[in-house]
Structure 1
Amino acid sequence: MKAVRLNAYDETPELVEVPDPKVEGPLDIVVKIGGAGVCRTDLHIIEGQWEEKSGVALPYTIGHENAGWVEAVGSAVTNVKPGDPVILHPLVTCGLCRACRFGDDVHCENSRFPGIDSDGGYAEYLRTSARSAVKLDPSLEPADVAALADAGLTAYHAASKAAQHLRPGDKVVVIGAGGLGHIGIQVLAALTPAEMIVVDANDEALELAAELGATHTVRAGEGAVERVQELTGGHGAEAVIDFVGEGGAVEAGVKMLRRAGNYYVVGYGGSLNIPTIDVISTEINFIGNLVGSYNDLVELMVLAAQGKVRLHTFKYALGDHTRALEDLHHGNVRGRAILIP
């Protein structure tokens, strides 16, 4: 089969021929890829930022946002059959450790992460676990939802956490309306009646945010904090969900938060540098968000089937992976880029 392989860090991955994956264990499935999301994390992987953390041996196939059709199943698989359309939870988990027993499978003690620490879905086929497969509603096409497997799942995980604490009349600030943010906006609109204030540096992104349910839009930069304070009656928002996490977003975002508010960290690259006296005197909380659970993905697929969450996608052939990665790097993708074998 054809696959996009990373041969060395800081080099462009290459499209090459590799052996087709085979079912090796009783719970394995092989999926024919219908769409693979192109994520900013893929850029960080290529740059070598994940080298130490992932411990992966090069060369390997990248791509961790995957959907398609079941091609083959192991002897113990009962939840899917060949031909079923599926979206794949990004992790392969054991189901036996403490975290898995709690349904917190993103923290599985024995997990494998295709596309991060093992072969992923920038390919024609992918081997994963039946535990990772979520069957798609007939109204959904794999290529249209593939990026929901990680970007959408991450956005849902953070937004649903925030929604549990937001009440009518509350305010929530969303920083960043791009690939993850535009999904988070839709999730918040579906799950909470709170007023949504979206902050972004790009006018097109703000226009999209307004279409997707933002109550107010604010251009990032000078005057943004003051505008949010004005919209919240000078108190700040009950919650801030930061999909950027760098370039001054954190510093501005903390100033947009009210006393006893929750700051949900999703984007990364910057640093939290907050005086401890400011944390205790206002009782603000900082909450990290890493991907999401299998059940989060199931719930997200319900919203997608109901038409309440939809991806804005740019589709590329698998052989155009270099152009897709470059477009993402240069900020030319509004929404999510999808590779289609």
Structure 2
Amino acid sequence: MRAFRMHDWLTEPVLTEVDVPEPGPGQVLVRIGGAGVCHSDLHVFREFEPGRMPWRLPFTLGHENAGWVESVGAGVTGLDPGMPVAVYGPWGCGACDRCLRGVETYCERPRDAPVPLGGAGLGLDGGMADYLLVPHARHVVPLPDGLDPVTAAPLTDAGLTPYHAVRRSWSKLTATATAVIIGVGGLGHLAVQVVKATTAARVVAVDTRPEALELARRLGADVTLRPGDGVAEVVRDETRGRGADVVVDCVGNDETLALAASVARVLGDLTIVGLGGGRLPVSFFAMPFELSVQTTYWGSRPELVEVLALASRGLLHTEVTRFSLDDVAQAYRRLEEGTLTGRAVVTP
């Protein structure tokens, strides 16, 4: 089968031929229908130096995956060949308190996991291939009716990550609240929808690209702004001088973090989702009082079920640009150039 694999650090992955894996006891072989192209992969093969992560090469990229059950190993029940499924990407030990709650992103015994701090496409073979071997059936989630693998694949990260970030701030997203989403890309265009679908709050979307702002308006954003449009002043005007109750930064560089702090409200939440590498200076008067600042990583398996349910009801729409597996390198180039709207999905 074909697979887009990293063979060495700080080098471009290549499409190569490998054997189709056979599922062992408790394992599931998934025929890939869609694999999302994520900006974090660029960090993996452009910036990760030898020794930075406890991962062994080579491995296949692709941590946003959905498809159909091809075959199962001994002991697997409830997953029949041909069943459409999504794959929960982070793979923990399965036995610690966090894993038992379905929060394998925060596994407390990573040395007992299949690979420390990783999962599909992150230290282990992912879904940029014709087939993906999932090491445990608990990571395979049947798709609800009306949801196909191509549109479901990005929901496993680009949908799940902002859903987790927004969900933890639900108590602050009341009918009088305002949420600011910074960056309307693969994650941000879904973050806008998550707020609108699960809360009564108003949404202000911020992006540098006119096409991204147009997408945000189509998906329900109440106000759309470019960073140079006096964002902080507009947000203050829109909120009667109070500021945003919740800010989700899907970029995470120095400029967007400074913007996020400038629009946030006293007692608000600022959640950093993007991996832009920025820093947020903290001092007594540097930000609103009791502003809670947090980073999040992915989301839980139960939350993925909730995200898929929202999408199957038509409450989440994934803006998808499709690429064949033969064109996967082009998809990453387009992502790096910033010429994609929504999420790129590789469809073997």
TM-score, normalisation: structure 2: 0.93
Does 1:207 find its partner at 2:220? no
Q: Given residue 31 of structure 1, which amino acid in structure 2 is its aligned partner?
A: V
1:164-208 CA distance string (max 9 Å, x none): 331111111111111100001111111000111111111111111
**What is the one-letter code of the residue matched to 1:122?**
M
| CA distance in 2 between partners of 1:51 and 1:210 (Å) | 43
Partner of 1:2: 2
Number of residues paired by the alignment? 340
Preserved contact between residue 91 and residue 105 of structure 2 (Cα < 8 Å) = no
Determine which of 304, 308, 311 is the counterpart of 1:304: 311
CA distances 1:282-307 after superposition (whole Å, capped 9, x unpaired) = 11101211100000100000001001
1:216-252 per-position Cα deviation (integer Å, ceiling 9, x unaligned)? 1111135221111221111111111111111400001
Identity %: 39
Letter in 1 for 2:170: A
How far apart in 2 are the matches of 1:81 and 1:251?
50
Partner residue, 2:329:
322
Deviates more, 1:263-272 or 1:33-42: 263-272
> 2:15: which partner in 1?
15
In 1, Cα distance between equivalents of 2:36 and 2:101:
28
- Secondary structure of the residue that 1:248 maps to in structure 2? helix
Distance 2:26 2:80 in 1: 12
2:132 paired residue number: 126
One-letter code of the match for 1:18?
V
Q: Distance in 2 between matches of 1:146 and 1:50?
A: 28
Q: 1:207 to 1:155 in 2, by over 3 A?
A: same
Q: Verify the 8 A CA contact 2:86 2:153 in the aligned structure 1.
A: yes
C-alpha displacement of 1:211:
1.1
In structure 2, stretches of 5+ residues that fail to align are none
The separation in 1 between residues aligned to 2:101 and 2:9, in whole angstroms, is: 37
Provide the C-alpha distance between the structure 2 equivalents of 1:155 and 1:122, rounded to a whole number of angstroms.
Answer: 23
The two structures have a TM-score, normalised by structure 1, of 0.95
1:116 corresponds to: 122
2:206 is paired with a residue whose SS is strand
Distance 1:50 1:79, change over 3 A: farther
Superposition deviation, residue 124 in structure 1: 0.7
Matches within 5 A, 1:209-224: 209-221=216-228, 223-224=230-231
Alignment of structure 1 residues 264-275 onto 2, 5 Å: 264-275=271-282
Report the CA distance shift for 1:75/1:244 in structure 2 as closer, same or farther (over 3 A). same
Hey, what's the Cα distance between the residues in 1 that align with 2:288 and 2:14? 53
- Aligned partners of 1:50, 1:284: CA distance in 2, in Å? 35
| 2:84 alignment partner in structure 1 | 85
Is the contact between residue 94 and residue 100 of structure 1 (CA under 8 Å) also seen in structure 2?
yes
Whichever residue aligns with residue 330 of structure 1, its letter is E
Question: What are the residue-to-residue correspondences of 1:1-341 with 2, within 5 Å?
Answer: 1-24=1-24, 26-49=25-48, 52-108=51-107, 109=109, 110-111=112-113, 112=115, 113-128=119-134, 129-221=136-228, 223-278=230-285, 282-341=289-348
Cα RMSD, aligned residues only = 1.7
